[in-house]
Amino acid sequence: MTVRQGYRVELAPTPAQAARLGQHAGLSRVVENFCLEKVKAALAQREAEQSYGVAAADLTPVPWSAPALERLWRAEHAGRYPWFTAEGLSSRVPKEACRVRAAGFKNFFDSRSGDREGARVGFPGWRKRRHGSRFRYDADRARPVHQRAVHLPGIGKVRTREDMTWLTSRITGGAARVIGATVKEQAGRWWLSVQIEIDRTEVNRARHAPRGAPACGIDIGVKTFATIVDDDGTVTEIHAPKPLKAALRKLRRANQDLSRKAKGAANRAKAARRVAKVHLDVAHQRADFLHKTTTTLARTERAVAVETLNVAGMTRNRRLSRALSDLGFGEFHRQLAYKADWYGAQVWAADRWFPSSRLCGDCGTVNAALTLADRTWQCGCGTVHDRDVNAARNLLTAMQQDQQVV
């Protein structure tokens, strides 16, 4: 089973290497803005030509594609950006920056035509420093050279803070190959995300859900993150750490401290890094919880029944948006889907309008008067339901009744 996946590791650069990483991030930003400048200039030229009555076939072409943008960069960088050659920066970074910008144009047109799913994507804008520092390498230009070191073109051999034996052993054995890499800075720390193609047959077989594993229904909620009901009647509750809620006081103080610093001052930069560190810690705690939860479910359950949630619509509720965003419902479903595919489990998603909480599991009556505040309710048949347990049990029953689930 060959799949594409990511492998993220934190770098441990020296001060000189960190400065060099920052230079390459700045180069990527300059190239992306150069590409946008060329596209906007061509569009303005075409508009002027159309006003003069120039035929459509004779209008100035717009460099939408990555190869066209690369040709323009190669033709002009020597005169406009002589520091690129003088500093000896990697030529692979501009190549990938052009591809990133071309992908942004394609996403915009696909979104406008309806060929791209999800929220509407706007026309790409100018990239600024405050948008973050990151750049990409193509193919295996950036690659592990040791369990504790990676080679980055234009920078050299950079040590990592984590052991990469899992990756290096598979690359050496031919089970994996690097197809791209992204370097990103967060809160003063640098990370390398390697995109790989890997044969996961042996990995998945070793972690495959055991024979006779139970099937379950899962109700996702704000108060209790996941209420799990197995087909043997076992009920399990999983509570999320809610890292943003726990860090709100620290984040508020950090932002207040930042607001008191003069713009451009060194102390303001330090305060900004403290704010970024709080956000990074929150993101790491949430990701750790979601990965551990979804991995456990995919490895221990034969089949999982879940709700189909309109997360984007739910977050429009001002009273619940922060709590919902803190839990990461959308990421939970995404991770569960691909990990279940890895480990041989099955994920069954109910219809969005399936009344899992309102449906009485005994008589089939739908309680239309049920509100979000009602944690327990009594049906006309006399059965008293716990809202979350009832919803999870109804999802499990619906999955079992579906012909596609064995």
**21 vs 233, more confident:** 21
376 band by pLDDT with thresholds 50, 70 and 90:
confident
Average pLDDT over residues 318-347: 93
Minimum mean pLDDT range among 77-91, 111-125, 279-293: 111-125
pLDDT at position 21 over 90? yes
Instruction: Say what the pLDDT of residue 404 is.
Output: 54
Q: With the C-alpha atoms ordered 357, 362, 365, 370, is the resulting torsion angle positive or negative?
A: negative
Concatenated DSSP letters of 217-270: EEEE-SSSSEEEEETTS-EEEE----HHHHHHHHHHHHHHHHHTSPTT-HHHHH
pLDDT at position 289 over 80? yes
Instruction: Say what the pLDDT of residue 136 is.
Output: 96
Average pLDDT over residues 38-62: 93
Break the chain down into helix, strand, coil percent, rounded to 5. 45, 20, 35
Minimum mean pLDDT range among 67-71, 262-266, 294-298: 262-266
pLDDT at position 161 over 60? yes
pLDDT at position 405 over 60? no
- Give tens-digit pLDDT for 186-204: 999 999 999 999 999 988 9
Encoding tokens for residue 386? 């716990």
In whole numbers, what is the pLDDT of the chain averaged over residues? 93
Instruction: Say what the pLDDT of residue 375 is.
Output: 85
Q: Residue 163 and residue 168: Cα distance in Å, rounded?
A: 9
Instruction: List, in sequence order, every beta strand (DSSP E) within 86-241.
Output: 133-138, 143-146, 149-152, 156-159, 176-186, 189-199, 215-220, 226-230, 235-238
Q: For residue 162, which phi and psi values (nearest 5 degrees)?
A: -130, 155
Say what angle helices 66-80 and 15-51 make with each other, to 10 degrees.
Answer: 110
Residue ranges per domain, the chain? 2-201, 207-401
For 24-47, b/e burial (b = at least 16 CB within 10 A) is bbbbbbbbbbbbbebbeebeeebe
Known catalytic residues? Answer: 219, 307, 388
pLDDT at position 406 over 80? no
Average pLDDT over residues 300-324: 89
Q: Residue 323 and residue 311: Cα distance in Å, rounded?
A: 12
pLDDT at position 385 over 60? yes
Average pLDDT over residues 63-81: 96
pLDDT at position 403 over 80? no
- With a threshold of 0.85, does the pTM exceed it? yes
Instruction: Say what the pLDDT of residue 398 is.
Output: 92
pLDDT at position 89 over 80? yes
Q: Residue 348 and residue 350: Cα distance in Å, rounded?
A: 7
- For the chain, the maximum distance between any two Cα atoms, rounded to a whole number of angstroms, is 82
- Give tens-digit pLDDT for 258-274: 999 999 899 999 999 99
Q: Residue 348 and residue 246: Cα distance in Å, rounded?
A: 33
Instruction: Say what the pLDDT of residue 95 is.
Output: 96
pLDDT at position 250 over 60? yes
Instruction: Say what the pLDDT of residue 219 is.
Output: 94
Q: Which residue has the tokens 């990697």?
A: 90
- Give tens-digit pLDDT for 136-152: 999 999 999 999 999 99
Instruction: Say what the pLDDT of residue 316 is.
Output: 85
pLDDT at position 92 over 80? yes
Minimum mean pLDDT range among 112-121, 164-173, 322-331, 332-341: 112-121
